[in-house]
Structure 1
Amino acid sequence: MADLFADDLSPAAAPEVLRDDAPLADRLRPRNLSEVVGQEHLTGPEGAIGRMVAAGRLSSMILWGPPGTGKTSIARLLADAVGMRFAAVSAVFSGVADLKKAFAEADVAGKAGQRTLLFVDEIHRFNRAQQDGFLPFVERGTVTLVGATTENPSFALNAALLSRAQVLILHRLGPEALNALLDKAEALEGRLPVTQDARDALVASADGDGRFLLNQVETLYAAGISEPLDPGGLGHFLQRRVAVYDKDRDGHYNLISALHKSVRGSDPQAALYYLARMLTAGEEPLYVLRRLVRMANEDIGLADPQALVQCLAAKDTYEFLGSPEGELAIAQACLYLATAPKSNAAYSAFKAAWKSARDTGSLNPPANILNAPTKLMKEIGYGKDYAYDHDAPDGFSGDNYWPEGMPPQTYYEPVERGFEREVRKRIEWWDKKRAERRGE
């Protein structure tokens, strides 16, 4: 297997010399952190990365963000900015032997007075045991770990590893950042063979992915197009539906915002209008469906649990039938959401619970509800005095499930609308029974 690690012991890996026929995305890679577009909240003077670079010392970090947002570029530039040796490994192609080699090389470099930044792409693809293998080297300072992931680190990475690294969130690239990439491409290769409307449509179709955008641009340059393409011609050429913008400049983001707010405001007529505007303009139906799923969770939730089911059924129907027949299923889901009772109680509750989880750290659950699969765990009290609810009166024990030292919290408060009215009655009944069994 090819060596995936930088094996030099210089302060940072030597700048890569790119051939003229290298991919456009590689030729446009930023040369310093100030050239990274769309992530100024991190790389700017007040951002976490900007402050670390100014101090000349990096802490281990996890870069979490969608594809094509600059994670790899930032990692390379970080090493340069603070004079560290750069080594890289991809979790897709590497195993334990590769990691051992990387750590050994970093140890040698450390003895020579050279710190190593180890970049691990797709770090979430390493299993739990492999992730644990990083811990002693991070703790000793053998490497400063910079991991990149498209997955939520809370679910994809070990708690022990997360406790030793700062999670930094990269944003999807907005229109301004994507247009800046197009400007750089045009400065290098000449004017794009598209009209202004088609240029806007090209930006919208990238959906925040800078690498995807530059790959599409490279295809356009390679084709030797003589006359600028309009949005329709662009969609036909790229074999990809791109959103068309009318004379009033009502774009992708304005229309999806209008659709979302019409659904939230229970106006099915306006919601259907904006849905039709987007689909007739050539918007990607699966993008609209993803946003409808989001609305079902954020704005309806348990007020009508069927809202999410309707959206997922519409997605399956569209994938089965395709356009235009499948678009009727999208319209049906849209109308269902707009006419459903509304509640953001689940959305608000999850945000509050997330904050509590972050603030309280790693408090252990009470011992009586811990699993005790071994004799030792039983001997030290795991599972002792657990009240099995099915054996209790009314199938409800009223036990305490909160960590020691943390009083019970109230995150979820159902509204008096739709199905949540029934959920509210259940919670009130449980609260009453719980209080009775505590003697209150």
Structure 2
Amino acid sequence: MADLFDQGAKSPDPGPEGGAPRPLADRLRPRTVAEVIGQEQILGPEAPLGVMLASGTLSSLVFWGPPGVGKTTIARLLADETDLHFVQISAIFTGVQDLKKVFEAAKIRRGNGQGTLLFVDEIHRFNKAQQDGFLPHMEDGTILLVGATTENPSFELNAALLSRAQVLVLERLSLADLERLTQRAEKELGRPLPLGPDARDALQEMADGDGRALLNLVEQVAAWKVDAPLDREALSARLMRRAAKYDKSGDEHYNLISALHKSVRGSDPDAALYWLARMLKGGEDPRYLARRITRMAVEDIGLADPQAQSICLHAWQVYERLGSPEGELALAQAVVYLALAPKSNGAYVGYKAAMKLAGQTGSEPPPKHILNAPTGLMKEQGYGAGYAYDHDAEGGFSGQDYFPEGIKRPVLYQPVERGFERELKKRLDYFAKLRAQRGET
């Protein structure tokens, strides 16, 4: 997960021929796979890459993970471990002609007995045609492709390319991983960071799971001249907290709204508030959240608490009137209310069942007895004949059939025994009993 190793140096490492010192992140790059911090789920002895390296065979891969977790470094080390020539390109800066040159060089290299590991950073930035261009060279062995992406490959990469590569998920650095990385950095620098324990924790939290970001922060802190170790407050005053990773059109957007929705559905107001706050902190549009919160009321609370929809709509209106930041409190209150409300998807399930049935029955007309007959011809055709006016029936219920003729009465709406739907179920049972007494099947 990290781009680091212990070189044992005690002073800044100068660049080539006495040039500028190399950045700490570059000096701490691992030299072997064993020196990589974290990513046990793909590098362990029984994990995919561990098994591949042990068997001496490597397939094309796609690394999916956030920035700063070692995608580039691991790709480079895989080339070293398998004696492949390493070529790195970025989809952002590489055009069709550049790709042709890369493939031609790989063919020549292959003819001379050496394979090529082609590492493509931001591979999701290539369009469909460009992605398809890799396929023949992967199939004939000209290149072994290792792509890296921060976006979900299922949405961003062609199915043909994915069928020829194994997707491996790289994870954010844990706090324990970040501490190991901090210790390696201190050994490389030859001195401890001027931080107290709380400030040290705060520094690692600021990195937000990004090893490269941590090393950049460490390099800044190490250059400070201070008389005593800094505490958390002093560190926060000197460093800006790194913005949480959040892309309003990417995976994080959908992951977090899913977490919020499922927390509400699971009746956990604390978790729901947390995910709401995460999205707002990430810069999500509160209007989008208001719309999704209202959807939760319709989909998961439904008629178990008919007031839930009104509360969401009122919260939405309050936000529109107050704006930020005060308006977000109304959204938070709506989220808490939804989380604690009785849950039912009875109407939602019934609606989906009705849509399915409507699709299956096509253009079946309503029964004639419930059709209006404004003309004589329509009366002659039997429109309205035999219609029972429910207000005149005993109990205000005639029990007539309103489904198309020839369709057996289905049960589409099944209320739950929770909240207000408990009362609706009693009404349904009552009408079903009357319908049975009056002879309708």
TM normalised by structure 1 equals: 0.60
Flag structure 1 segments of 5+ consecutive residues without an equivalent: 1-15, 244-258, 346-386, 396-412, 422-440
Cα pair distance change 1:54/1:340, threshold 3 Å: same
| CA deviation after TM superposition for structure 1 residue 60, in Å | 0.3
| CA deviation after TM superposition for structure 1 residue 390, in Å | 10
| Cα distance in 2 for residues equivalent to 1:198 and 1:20 | 30
State the match for 1:409 in structure 2: none
- Aligned 1:224-373 pairs, distance under 5 A: 224-240=225-241, 266=267, 268=269, 286=281, 302-304=299-301, 321=324, 325=326, 328=329, 331-332=332-333, 334-341=335-342
State the match for 2:355 in structure 1: none
Root-mean-square deviation (CA, aligned residues, Å) is: 4.6
| CA deviation after TM superposition for structure 1 residue 195, in Å | 1.3
State the match for 2:212 in structure 1: 211
| CA deviation after TM superposition for structure 1 residue 340, in Å | 4.0
Deviations 1:353-410 (A, max 9, x none): xxxxxxxxxxxxxxxxxxxxxxxxxxxxxxxxxx988963489xxxxxxxxxxxxxxx
Q: Which moved more, 1:167-176 or 1:194-203?
A: 194-203
- Judge conservation of contact 2:124–2:153 (CA < 8 Å) in 1: yes
- Judge conservation of contact 2:79–2:85 (CA < 8 Å) in 1: yes
| Cα distance in 2 for residues equivalent to 1:232 and 1:214 | 20
Deviations 1:11-41 (A, max 9, x none): xxxxx97766222211111111111112011
State the match for 1:115 in structure 2: 115
State the match for 1:179 in structure 2: 179
State the match for 1:39 in structure 2: 39
- Aligned 1:3-82 pairs, distance under 5 A: 21-82=21-82
| CA deviation after TM superposition for structure 1 residue 174, in Å | 1.1
Indicate whether 1:392 and 2:363 are aligned. yes
| Cα distance in 2 for residues equivalent to 1:63 and 1:392 | 51
Cα pair distance change 1:132/1:239, threshold 3 Å: same
| CA deviation after TM superposition for structure 1 residue 76, in Å | 0.5
- Aligned 1:419-438 pairs, distance under 5 A: none
| Cα distance in 1 for residues equivalent to 2:36 and 2:417 | 48
Cα pair distance change 1:154/1:265, threshold 3 Å: closer
| Cα distance in 2 for residues equivalent to 1:420 and 1:67 | 48
State the match for 2:202 in structure 1: 201
| CA deviation after TM superposition for structure 1 residue 329, in Å | 5.2
Structure 1 letter corresponding to 2:324: L
| Cα distance in 2 for residues equivalent to 1:335 and 1:50 | 46
State the match for 2:84 in structure 1: 84
| CA deviation after TM superposition for structure 1 residue 415, in Å | 7.8
Structure 2 letter corresponding to 1:286: K
Q: Which moved more, 1:189-198 or 1:102-111?
A: 189-198
| Cα distance in 2 for residues equivalent to 1:140 and 1:148 | 22
| Cα distance in 2 for residues equivalent to 1:217 and 1:205 | 11
- Judge conservation of contact 2:301–2:338 (CA < 8 Å) in 1: no
Structure 2 letter corresponding to 1:104: E
Does the residue aligned with 1:321 lie in a helix, a strand or coil?
coil
Indicate whether 1:220 and 2:221 are aligned. yes
- Judge conservation of contact 1:69–1:173 (CA < 8 Å) in 2: yes
| Cα distance in 1 for residues equivalent to 2:281 and 2:29 | 30
Q: Which moved more, 1:33-42 or 1:82-91?
A: 33-42
Task: Count how many residue pairs are aligned between Structure 1 and Structure 2.
Answer: 317
| CA deviation after TM superposition for structure 1 residue 202, in Å | 2.0
| CA deviation after TM superposition for structure 1 residue 200, in Å | 1.2
| CA deviation after TM superposition for structure 1 residue 225, in Å | 3.6
- Judge conservation of contact 1:173–1:208 (CA < 8 Å) in 2: yes
Deviations 1:122-171 (A, max 9, x none): 00000000000000000000000000000110110000000000001111
- Judge conservation of contact 1:262–1:271 (CA < 8 Å) in 2: yes
Structure 1 letter corresponding to 2:44: G
Cα pair distance change 1:162/1:224, threshold 3 Å: same
| Cα distance in 2 for residues equivalent to 1:419 and 1:114 | 72
Cα pair distance change 1:284/1:300, threshold 3 Å: closer
| CA deviation after TM superposition for structure 1 residue 328, in Å | 3.3
Does the residue aligned with 2:89 lie in a helix, a strand or coil?
strand
- Judge conservation of contact 1:303–1:420 (CA < 8 Å) in 2: no
Does the residue aligned with 1:86 lie in a helix, a strand or coil?
strand
Structure 1 letter corresponding to 2:299: L
Cα pair distance change 1:321/1:229, threshold 3 Å: farther
Cα pair distance change 1:164/1:265, threshold 3 Å: closer
- Aligned 1:396-407 pairs, distance under 5 A: none
- Judge conservation of contact 2:208–2:242 (CA < 8 Å) in 1: no
State the match for 2:169 in structure 1: 169
Deviations 1:306-327 (A, max 9, x none): 89x89x979x99xx635xx577
State the match for 2:145 in structure 1: 145
- Judge conservation of contact 1:242–1:284 (CA < 8 Å) in 2: no
Which structure is larger by alpha-carbon Rg, 1 or 2? Answer: 2
State the match for 2:351 in structure 1: none
TM normalised by structure 2 equals: 0.60
| CA deviation after TM superposition for structure 1 residue 417, in Å | 6.5
- Judge conservation of contact 1:300–1:344 (CA < 8 Å) in 2: no
Does the residue aligned with 2:31 lie in a helix, a strand or coil?
coil
- Judge conservation of contact 2:342–2:418 (CA < 8 Å) in 1: yes
